[in-house]
A and B are shown apart, each in its own frame.
Chain A
Amino acid sequence: MTNAVQSDHDFEVQDIMINMGPQHPATHGVFRMVLAVDGEIVRDVIPHIGYMHRGGEKLSETMDFRQGIGFMDRTEYLAQFNAELSYVMAVEALMDIQVPERAQWIRMILCELNRLSSHFMFTGAFGTDSGVFGTAFTYAFRWREEIMDLFEEITGDRLMYAYFRPGGLAWEVTDNFAQRVKYVLDQCRQGIKDVDNLITNNEVFKARTQNVGIISAEDAIDWGTTGPVLRGSGVPFDVRRDEPYLFYDQVDFDVPVGQVGDVYDRWCVRIEEMRQSVRIVEQCMAKLQPGPIMPERMPRMLRTPPGEVYIRTEAPRGEYGIYMVSKGGNRPHRLKIRSACFTNLQALKDMSVGNYVADAVLILGSLDIVLGETDR
């Protein structure tokens, strides 16, 4: 498909179509976009998703509530705890289970640490997108690795944790948990500082990202974006603050919002969120008390009464929602995952058209998509 471009040339000018992905170093995962390019200017963006579609929602209907947790890890594989949390909270809401306090605090700690590791991943990947040869990536991964080690110690797995359970946690955290978290937080503070020094104030980075890929607050709301994309446009919407779940109403944190809504703002919002996450984990650690991690009376077999529930949580990429319909029994009748990346991705065309090819790469990077979650 080629579009004739209106121009003041005597001869006919055509856009060339450039296929980016599904195998391209800059498309995170297997995202594919076809760019109609006039010289260096992007005239049209045709996104293609679905290369990683595994029928996750349908598959979840065949899994009971224990197995479904593991599958949530596989959708959002960079913020697994956040994905699990939505799922177990949905089951808990259907079954009306009261989760013990200690389990909730630990869930909060793990979710925030997961947010940190996910945002570290973003800084690394985005640094590579913007052209820093590997340095941003290795910087970010060094600190992400510390968090991953902690998760591995607790859950026994590096990627697919499956640690949350309806009602609480699978097992108690390790004995040196407090000490390890403190160590990891120190490392993260250093890591945030490093990434910040390396990239945020770099002149070239600023020149590349400022005033690029602007989306206004109204458009961001209209497209249904959530998370850092929405906050980067200046809308202070954060599920943790506006509809507190767990104990987010008992900790103190700020919601960073950008002023322009460009790529640079989205970057800065994420960096600031990382600092806030460190703050939240610190407060959680102070409030963590010994106690049970599962309710005393839990049914041996998880069976939900008929009903439906929508639970949303603030995952690193935005609102991760689970809509669960139950008709009784030990598995959901219908499960719908409200994916933050999928909705954020809809705004891609709006942001990219009229910008340079190189900017399209950066804009896609600033949306921070995870294809596992987009395609499910």
Chain B
Amino acid sequence: MMTETLFGLPTGVDAAIRLLIVVGVMTVVVMALIYLERKVLARFQQRLGPTRTGPMGLLQSVADALKLISKEDIRPKNADPWVFELAPFLVFVPTFLGFVAVPFTIAWQVRELELGLLYVLAVSSVNILGWVMAGWGSDNRYAILGALRAVAQSISYELPLVLAMISVAMVANSLNLVEIVRQQATVPNIVWQPLPALLFFICLLAEMNRPPFDAPVGESEVVGGPYVEYSGIRWSMFFLGEYAAMFIMSLLGAAVFLGGGAWPLGEELGVGWQLALTVVKAGAIIFLMFWTRASFPRLRIDQMMSFSWKILLPASIAQILVTGGILVYNLPSGLEHTLLAVTSAIGVLFVYTAINRSVATPRPRPVVLVRRSEAAR
């Protein structure tokens, strides 16, 4: 499997072709995602979104890309030239690496890796280095503030994300993404493991710096954070990386929790159907991300950190312990899975109540009404 090449071409040519495919597909997908986000957000906000460029504004992303490419690439005088200029690459190259292992259908991916899940998670967290470099290299206080926030946040949310995934891998008994998808032919993992699914989604938002966890790039506070000094093509690379990461992580979520190309139509479907299923599932996750962006205010950095360390991390560790405790007894499959589902659902309820209670004290009557007739002071 690992040595197989397209049409028996030499390995080098084969690798180049695959690379071109990856970059080409990702660029198109990212443009589509930016357009979709603008349209969807606009609908949430009672607007129309882009309408002028092309039919229904479909060419808006193309126009934006052209504009960004033709803009002057400005580097601040005091910026560290190497760090500043390399940072965008360190953001988007690791993101694109994740593309290698993500399955689009059961048989379609760039490479089937035995440790695919681990690989995707590992490479997707490298880009934080680029953020730090961007923040440090720009010699801008907003940028460094944003970069430090990004690091703190990334470290905090990486742990529950990986731990949640470990629990799923334990149930699937594999780290191979194709294998995990195959096992979900009848029931998706989200049924057996709702708590990891919830943790995954929350950590996903934080890893992508999306609201309500967008303190590193919060416009009303740090004016764009690490990329405040970037312009033109370098700035668009950050954007490319951001949306590519969103797409890849959604594909990962679709594969691990929603059954990818398998559930509910089984795995012996045609490739077209499998692809459609994967895209729809990933699209659902992306839509949820758009939705949260349209409706949530931003968390403060300390609240964000304590949310991760005090609620998400203990919950994910507890989930691993419980999953392991159930799996170790080799129960009959039906009983085992029921137990998993029930315990995990209890975990979801626990997280829900914890979130509710961690919010400030309830005020049943926020304002007191003083009657006009009451005597003036």
Report if A and B associate in a common complex. yes
B226, CB-defined interface residue at 8 Å? no
**B301 with A132: CB separation less than 8 A:** no
**A256 with B370: CB separation less than 8 A:** yes
Give 19 A-B pairs besides A204-B298, A207-B358 with Cβ atoms closer than 8 angstroms: A19-B141, A24-B223, A131-B212, A131-B214, A131-B297, A138-B45, A138-B46, A202-B295, A202-B296, A202-B297, A205-B297, A206-B359, A207-B299, A210-B360, A236-B370, A236-B377, A242-B376, A258-B367, A272-B369
B71, CB-defined interface residue at 8 Å? no
Distance between B326 CB and nearest chain A CB, rounded to angstroms: 32
Question: In whole angstroms, what is the CA distance A134 to B41 when docked?
Answer: 9
Enumerate 17 A-B pairs (CB-CB under 8 Å) in ascending A order.
A26-B220, A131-B214, A132-B294, A135-B44, A138-B45, A208-B300, A210-B361, A241-B376, A252-B372, A253-B372, A256-B367, A257-B368, A259-B363, A264-B366, A268-B366, A268-B367, A357-B222
Q: Which of chain A's residues has its CB closest to B368's CB?
A: A257
A358, CB-defined interface residue at 8 Å? yes
Contact of B295 among A16, A24, A132, A210 (CB under 8 A): A132
Q: Which of chain A's residues has its CB closest to B210's CB?
A: A133
A18-B141 contact, Cβ under 8 Å, with A135-B45, A211-B360: yes
Could you say which residues of chain B place their CB within 8 Å of the CB of A18?
Answer: 141-142, 145
Report the 10 A-B pairs with minimum CB-CB distance, sorted nearest first: A131-B298, A210-B360, A26-B220, A254-B369, A268-B366, A138-B45, A130-B297, A236-B370, A256-B367, A242-B376
Question: In whole angstroms, what is the CA distance A68 to B368 when docked?
Answer: 39
Interface residues of B in 116-153 (CB under 8 A from A): 141-142, 145, 149
Binary contact track B191-225/A, C-beta < 8 Å → 1, others 0: 00000000000000000000110110011111100
B-side residues, CB < 8 A to A, are: 41, 44-47, 141-142, 145, 149, 211-212, 214-215, 218-223, 293-303, 355-356, 358-361, 363, 366-372, 374, 376-377
A50, CB-defined interface residue at 8 Å? no
Could you say which residues of chain B place their CB within 8 Å of the CB of A258?
Answer: 366-368
Question: In whole angstroms, what is the CA distance A135 to B294 when docked?
Answer: 6
Question: In whole angstroms, what is the CA distance A370 to B345 when docked?
Answer: 49
**B45 with A25: CB separation less than 8 A:** no
Residues of A within 8 Å of B, CB-based: how many?
Answer: 58
A-side residues, CB < 8 A to B, are: 16-19, 24-26, 37, 40, 127-135, 137-139, 142, 198-200, 202-208, 210-211, 234, 236-237, 241-243, 252-259, 264-265, 268-269, 272, 356-359, 361
Could you say which residues of chain B place their CB within 8 Å of the CB of A356?
Answer: 300-302
A204-B376 contact, Cβ under 8 Å, with A25-B220, A256-B367, A272-B369: no
Distance between B200 CB and nearest chain A CB, rounded to angstroms: 19
Question: In whole angstroms, what is the CA distance A76 to B25 when docked?
Answer: 53
Distance between B254 CB and nearest chain A CB, rounded to angstroms: 24
Question: In whole angstroms, what is the CA distance A102 to B212 when docked?
Answer: 50
Q: Which of chain A's residues has its CB closest to B369's CB?
A: A254
Contact of A358 among B218, B355, B367, B371 (CB under 8 A): B218
Question: In whole angstroms, what is the CA distance A202 to B371 when docked?
Answer: 28
Question: In whole angstroms, what is the CA distance A202 to B302 when docked?
Answer: 18
Could you say which residues of chain B place their CB within 8 Å of the CB of A204?
Answer: 212, 296-299
Question: In whole angstroms, what is the CA distance A135 to B370 when docked?
Answer: 32
Question: In whole angstroms, what is the CA distance A372 to B294 when docked?
Answer: 31
Could you say which residues of chain A place their CB within 8 Å of the CB of B222?
Answer: 357
Question: In whole angstroms, what is the CA distance A210 to B366 when docked?
Answer: 11
Could you say which residues of chain A place their CB within 8 Å of the CB of B211?
Answer: 131-133
Contact of B360 among A134, A206, A255 (CB under 8 A): A206
Distance between A178 CB and nearest chain B CB, rounded to angstroms: 24
Question: In whole angstroms, what is the CA distance A253 to B142 when docked?
Answer: 46
Contact of B47 among A127, A138, A234, A252 (CB under 8 A): A138
**A207 with B221: CB separation less than 8 A:** no
Could you say which residues of chain A place their CB within 8 Å of the CB of B303?
Answer: 207-208
Distance between A340 CB and nearest chain B CB, rounded to angstroms: 19
Question: In whole angstroms, what is the CA distance A138 to B47 when docked?
Answer: 8
**A133 with B294: CB separation less than 8 A:** yes
Could you say which residues of chain B place their CB within 8 Å of the CB of A208?
Answer: 297-300, 303
Could you say which residues of chain B place their CB within 8 Å of the CB of A133?
Answer: 41, 211, 293-294
Question: In whole angstroms, what is the CA distance A356 to B303 when docked?
Answer: 11
Residue from A19, A241, A264 having most chain B Cβ neighbours under 10 A: A241
A256-B369 contact, Cβ under 8 Å, with A131-B212, A204-B297: yes
**B297 with A272: CB separation less than 8 A:** no
Question: In whole angstroms, what is the CA distance A24 to B46 when docked?
Answer: 26
Question: In whole angstroms, what is the CA distance A268 to B145 when docked?
Answer: 31
Q: Which of chain B's residues has its CB closest to A125's CB?
A: B220
**B221 with A357: CB separation less than 8 A:** yes
Distance between B51 CB and nearest chain A CB, rounded to angstroms: 16
**B220 with A131: CB separation less than 8 A:** yes
Could you say which residues of chain B place their CB within 8 Å of the CB of A259?
Answer: 363, 366-368
A254-B301 contact, Cβ under 8 Å, with A133-B294, A358-B218: no
**B295 with A357: CB separation less than 8 A:** no
Distance between B262 CB and nearest chain A CB, rounded to angstroms: 35
Q: Which of chain B's residues has its CB closest to A273's CB?
A: B367
Distance between A278 CB and nearest chain B CB, rounded to angstroms: 14
**B370 with A127: CB separation less than 8 A:** no
A198-B366 contact, Cβ under 8 Å, with A18-B141, A207-B360, A357-B221: no
Question: In whole angstroms, what is the CA distance A221 to B41 when docked?
Answer: 43
Could you say which residues of chain A place their CB within 8 Å of the CB of B41?
Answer: 133-134
Could you say which residues of chain B place their CB within 8 Å of the CB of A135?
Answer: 44-45, 294-295
Could you say which residues of chain A place their CB within 8 Å of the CB of B45?
Answer: 134-135, 137-139
**A26 with B361: CB separation less than 8 A:** no
Question: In whole angstroms, what is the CA distance A236 to B215 when docked?
Answer: 36
Q: Which of chain A's residues has its CB closest to B358's CB?
A: A207
Question: In whole angstroms, what is the CA distance A133 to B298 when docked?
Answer: 9
Question: In whole angstroms, what is the CA distance A243 to B374 when docked?
Answer: 13
Could you say which residues of chain A place their CB within 8 Å of the CB of B356?
Answer: 203
**A203 with B359: CB separation less than 8 A:** yes
Distance between A86 CB and nearest chain B CB, rounded to angstroms: 20
Distance between B223 CB and nearest chain A CB, rounded to angstroms: 6
Question: In whole angstroms, what is the CA distance A207 to B155 when docked?
Answer: 22
Question: In whole angstroms, what is the CA distance A258 to B368 when docked?
Answer: 6
